[in-house]
Chains A and B, each alone.
Chain A
Amino acid sequence: MPYTYYPGCSLHATGVSYDKSMRAVFGKLGLGLEELDDWNCCGATSYMSVKETVAFAITARNLALAEKNGGGDLVAPCSACYALLNKTRKFLGEAPALRADVAEALAEDDLECRLSVPVRHPLEVLMNDVGTERLAAAQTRSIADFRPACYYGCQILRPQRAMDDDPEVPMAMEDLFAALGAEPVDYPPRTRCCGGMLMATAEEVAVKLCEELIGWAQERDANCIVTVCPLCQGNLDILGRRAELVGGGRPIPVLYFTQLLGLALGCTRRELGIQHGLIPLTVEARPLPVEPAAVGMEA
């Protein structure tokens, strides 16, 4: 059964390359991906602080639509959407009073939310449903020149974790890209916050958080930062161009994990939306097989 795809608002704007690379990668792997018809905004973190029941109700509309269409698991690449959709499932499941209120609101539009469709993150889908072995077998280009700093951010690990591994030290992306021949660097702040929407409301705080994230990546000599979230990508991409943050070093391009994976699977840079990145990606995927560097040295 094809996965039901919930892109979320960001993937139609600042995160357009995430949308393109999601479709490219799933297409390349032959996985069905059907966009949820007429989905609405998940409410993000902003709605919850104004009106709680409304926030849950509009998120539940998406869950109800996914159930009504009878599609497969709901796949939400944006971390905020992923967290919100899952939080709604959890809260509605645990708080009967809230669930009754939300059910009454949904009934206004003849919808019903039974919480029967699981909400999943594409990283977890690719790791568990496809697996690194099959992904490595499907590889057509070498990404051995990439030294990614794998950055998970907050919301796919907290409050509900998407991956099976340790929520404090997730290794899914490291495992994935190491299996594809890249050299992931050790990146201690992998689960730290980028500041999210503080970028708009309290810029100083977000700048400081991103400065640390970029600094760590530079220190470990990473040549790209790989994220799973459009907000993280946006913040790091915009701030990473500022000279005062980079501190004399070279700006580090910020990719979505689907973009780097897509390069390994032989998707073109245009298909993956690499051109949408503000910091140009200079590292290239090369044809397989790669000659080991050591051989070149001897010759």
Chain B
Amino acid sequence: MKMRSSPMRGPSSPGVLPQAEKELREAFLTEAARIPGGELLNRCIQCGTCSGSCPVTYAMDYSPRQVIAMFRAGAIEPLLRSRTIWICASCYSCTTRCPADIKITDLLYALKRIAIEKKIFPRRFPVYVLSETFTDMVRRHGRNHETGLLLRFFLKTRPFKLLSMAKDGLALWWHGRMPFKPRKIRGLEGLRRIIAKAETFDRPQEPVEHDNLTDTVGYSAIMEPWGRRAADHENGRRPPRRRLATVL
């Protein structure tokens, strides 16, 4: 059997991280260092308060506590491939309750940014497309135009979903809550200069090829019918996960 460097199977020799994992660790620690109090990550006592407080742990593959445990075990790559980082709804329950003051939500943001930077998710992955459409919207108008954001988002990810959403959308429009025209700010040029300058401080985004990427990475994995992923498992690609329906 071909030896794989996946940390899930353990490092090639004890205490030694594969090169790819070393780079991810470096990237994560750089991101964490920019968060005030990011170093408190070291104080985690694995009490599980975060996982117990999170309202969406049930839909995650790794609970917030496990995220930190896996970071310590040198397994960041599976975290970047997990749906955990995309499922987080930013409710900050974990962060406010953590007895060690670890900013778990912000650390998950950091993991998201690295996943985006390394392009570890399917191209039309919903959370990424939403974020990307959102940032584009701000660059264009200076404000977020909700109607345009949702239309563009669903057209890019699940165009047929628009049909089933039409009823809600029309109801919102009928009640005067879906204006068609975006409003631009006057200082758009200045805002764009600010964005352009600030972008130079963020980590560079260079595409990295990941040959074993499939569309079942990340959140969309739980939407897939069982059969397809079971087949993937037989092909040695990935362990089967429970469907969301069975989790619910």
Binding site for B on A (CB under 8 A): 9-10, 12-17, 38-41, 43-54, 56-58, 61, 83, 90-91, 94-95, 97-98, 101-102, 104-106, 108-111, 154-155, 157-159, 167, 192-193, 195-198, 200-202, 204-206, 208-209, 238, 241, 275-278
Contacts and interface: CB of A to CB of B under 8 A. Distances in A.
A140 B153 CA distance: 45
12 contacts: A9-B144, A15-B177, A46-B130, A58-B191, A104-B201, A111-B194, A157-B96, A158-B92, A196-B89, A200-B153, A276-B177, A278-B171
Looking at chain B, what size class is its interface with the partner chain?
35 or more
B131 interface: yes
A198 B87 contact: yes
A101 B147 contact: no
Nearest to B196: A108
Contacts of A195: 89
Contacts of A202: 59, 86-87, 126-127, 219
Interface stretch (B13-21, B66-74, B135-143, B227-235): B135-143
A277 B90 contact: no
B198 A154 contact: no
B89 A198 contact: yes
A196 B90 contact: yes
B109 A52 contact: yes
Contacts of B195: 54, 57-58, 105
Contact of B138 (A40, A104, A238): A40
Given A44-B134, A201-B86, A201-B127, 14 more contacts: A9-B146, A12-B179, A56-B198, A95-B36, A105-B198, A109-B194, A192-B91, A195-B89, A200-B150, A200-B153, A201-B130, A202-B219, A205-B59, A278-B171
**Interface of A, helix, strand, loop or mixed by DSSP:** helix
Interface of B: 31, 34-37, 55-56, 59, 86-87, 89-93, 95-96, 103, 105, 109, 112-113, 116, 126-127, 130-132, 134-135, 137-138, 142-147, 150, 153-154, 168, 171-172, 175-179, 183, 185-187, 190-191, 193-199, 201-202, 219, 244, 248
A16 B183 CA distance: 14
